[in-house]
Amino acid sequence: MESPSTSTFSPDPKTPSPKLLYRRPSSSSRTIYGDRFIPSRSSSNFALFNLPNSTSNHHSTSPYNNLLKSALFGPECFQPSTPQKSSSSGRNSVNATDFLTSPPNCNIFKYKTETKRPLHSLTPFGLYDQLLGDPHGPSPTANSPRELPRSPYKVLDAPAMEDDFYLNLVDWSSHNVLAVGLGNSVYLWHASSSKVVKLCDLLSDESVCSVRWAQHNTHLAVGTSNGKLQLWDTSRCKRIRTMDGHRKRVGALAWSSSTLSSGSRDKSILQHDIRAREDYVSKLTGHKDEVCGLEWSYDNRELASGGSDNRLFVWNQHSTQPVLKYCEHTAAVKAIAWSPHLYGLLASGGGTADRCIRFWNTTTNTKVSSMDTGSQVCNLVWSKNVNELVSTHGYSKNQIILWRYPSMSELATLTGHTSRVLYLAISPDGQTIVTGSGDETLRFWNLFPLPKSQVTVLFSLSS
């Protein structure tokens, strides 16, 4: 929730200090105070809340108090004032009122529909979260059953989001910032404040084909339609460098420490060391068609790549030819995910003519299992907190499925997107996923529990 504007509140001098409620009688005074204190409301300072009885209006323009007024008297009785920008920190700050209304002709990452709730469900300090739905729900207890969502807790507009299976336009950073490619622009959505920042605009004849955050800093890689790779420092909104090498669009990216891997429609994978002056340090060849999926293993030793040639390859840190080849998929392989729970376990998903999720043991070079999902597999991601994974789908069901591994039993099937669910990212805490679609929406789902260690701490604190 946005940090509201604050003002110093000094208690009314006529109001007795709470310390007086339990004052011991001195030798010169035998007055005894009880354990109840009923203040004189006529002397209270109601101006802070901008109530009708207030005789002072010096707080009336505070956006925070506007929110309080809206919560108390209803949004239909109050029209928020134009959001104010503060320069106290040297930068523009956006207050919470900005995200309750959408300015004309500017609906990027605004709420698709307003959630209607009765007035009594809105509390001043929980107004924003309750309007959107609390992503984390109630505090967990040791024996409470896990509740899975039936609908997203947040839906944001994403105009001009491409309906293209081979692109990767959404990624969530370790600093809790979502990067989204829309047309020829890249936007950053700060999950902690819902603030939206436009990072860049490409040239008019270019479009964004992929975005990928570096693992532990604020660097963002952007692949473009003309084969260029741009590297941005998002903390300064400054482009650091542009790297050439590809002849066609760059639709897949993956980081391994200071190494950035890029896959292109020109069938090649380039390895870029961002510390080196050269545009790229090695070129991986093997795919016979566009490279649309790339993912490094958690130990950064193996790179998995998928292409529209229906092939899944595994490369090591030094190879320029694949060390493992899997050719059982019968459609393009975009969905790739390494398990964080079992070393060497790799999941891959096939397109419309395949529809299967297949599991591979790269340490023994064997196929583990296969599951026919019934529709095009667009993305896969493992939970870091439990041994489960999520798949998103296109033709013909456009659904999101939560699976328990290794039984591959369906825990939940989520619907809501009206087009293929082509984009998927997971929050840094591992609880929330965001899905993007050609229906030009981003939908947020709270799917996974906290890590067990955090649940234990929360339960202990609530006991």
CB 375 within 8 A of CB 388: no
State the DSSP H helix or E strand holding residue 379, giving kind and residue range, or none if neither.
Answer: strand 377-382
Strand pairing report for 366-372 and 259-264: unpaired
In this structure, are residues 80 and 66 in contact, taking their beta carbons and an 8 Å threshold? yes
Q: For the chain, give the number of residues.
A: 463
Distance (Å, whole) CA 139 – CA 6: 28
Residue type, 205: D
The tokens describing 187, both together, are 């936007």
Cβ–Cβ < 8 Å for 302, 319: no
Q: Which residue has the tokens 């990624």?
A: 171
pTM of the model: 0.71
* Cα distance between residue 286 and residue 253, in whole Å: 17
Closest CA to 172 of 413, 379, 463, 322: 379
pLDDT of residue 67: 74
State residue 103's pLDDT score.
42
Report residue 405 as tokens.
């591994």
In sequence order, what are the residues at sequence separation of 6 or more whose Cβ sits closer than 8 angstroms to the Cβ of residue 115? 131, 132, 133
Q: SS3 for 206?
A: coil
CA 42 to chain centre: 48
For residue 361 the two structure tokens come to 């043991």
pLDDT at 68: 72
Structural contact between residues 189 and 169, judged by C-beta atoms closer than 8 angstroms: no
Tell me the pLDDT of the chain (463 aa) as tens digits: 444 433 333 334 444 443 333 344 444 445 555 555 555 544 444 444 444 444 444 445 577 777 776 666 655 555 544 444 444 444 444 444 443 334 444 567 766 654 433 323 332 222 233 334 444 444 444 445 688 999 999 999 999 999 999 999 999 999 999 999 999 999 999 999 999 999 999 999 999 999 999 998 999 999 999 999 999 999 999 999 999 999 999 999 999 999 999 999 999 999 999 999 999 999 999 999 999 999 999 999 999 999 999 999 999 988 999 999 999 999 999 999 999 999 999 999 999 999 999 999 999 999 999 999 999 999 999 999 999 999 999 998 999 999 999 999 999 999 999 999 999 999 999 999 999 999 999 999 999 998 765 544 333 334 4
Question: Whole-angstrom Cα distance, residue 385 to residue 404?
Answer: 12
> Do the Cβ atoms of 172 and 432 come closer than 8 Å?
no
